């Protein structure tokens, strides 16, 4: 999340997704800040999204990512907001703009009865659906259940409990009135 983009159309979609999924319990956001943010900007972001921010800490290349991303002490649903999105393949040097699939698996594994949502705009133009389906297959191979909202501002909703994730998809579609082809599953 970059505060210089605060309030853009992506943020409106983030706000909508969180409101549509509030029935599944409280949500908190892990903004994955890559730059220092003032307390007043954090409060404005919280007020806009209608959820609490988990941390104001900045993710740096030298950050210990496991502890930075850890959510095991939070028994709520969590929305991770990386600058760019979800990257599937691990790298020796990890980008601060991404959340990685192995990190997501650890996060989801820490909170068995909760949902995790991830913003993802790291999709190649013209083949977004193909890329989402490929990522979905990899997430399922890692034992996660998920669906994706396919748009210029795509999102993942992921969890350990297949029934919970399925109910979330059905509820999201009913609340949002989105066409079903926008909510991908395999």
What are the structural domains of the chain? 3-184 (3.40.50)
* pLDDT number for residue 12: 92
* pLDDT number for residue 1: 58
Q: Is the pLDDT of residue 160 over 90?
A: yes
Q: Is the pLDDT of residue 171 over 90?
A: yes
pLDDT tens by residue, 76-108: 899 999 999 898 887 777 888 889 999 999 999
Q: Is the pLDDT of residue 72 over 70?
A: no
Q: Which own/partner contact pairs does 127-133 have at CB distance under 8 Å and 24+ positions apart? A: 128/154, 129/184, 132/184, 133/184, 133/186
pLDDT tens by residue, 24-60: 999 999 999 999 999 999 999 999 999 999 889 999 8
186 confidence band (pLDDT: 50, 70, 90): confident
């Amino acid at each position: 999340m970059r505060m210089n983009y605060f309030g853009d159309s992506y943020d409106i979609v983030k706000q909508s997704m969180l409101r549509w999924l509030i029935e599944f319990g409280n949500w908190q956001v892990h903004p994955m800040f890559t730059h220092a943010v003032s307390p007043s900007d954090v409060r404005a972001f919280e007020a806009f999204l209608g959820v609490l921010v988990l941390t104001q800490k900045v993710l740096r290349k030298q950050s210990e990512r496991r502890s930075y991303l850890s959510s095991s002490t939070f028994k709520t649903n969590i929305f991770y907001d990386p600058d760019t999105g979800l990257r599937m393949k691990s790298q020796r040097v990890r980008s601060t703009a991404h959340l990685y699939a192995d990190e997501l698996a650890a996060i989801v594994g820490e909170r068995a009865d909760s949902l995790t949502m991830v913003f993802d705009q790291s999709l190649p133009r013209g083949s977004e659906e193909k890329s989402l389906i490929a990522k979905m297959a990899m997430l399922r191979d890692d034992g996660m259940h998920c669906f994706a909202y396919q748009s210029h501002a795509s999102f993942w909703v992921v969890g350990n409990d297949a029934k919970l994730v399925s109910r979330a998809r059905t509820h999201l579609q009913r609340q949002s009135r989105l066409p079903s082809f926008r909510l991908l599953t395999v």
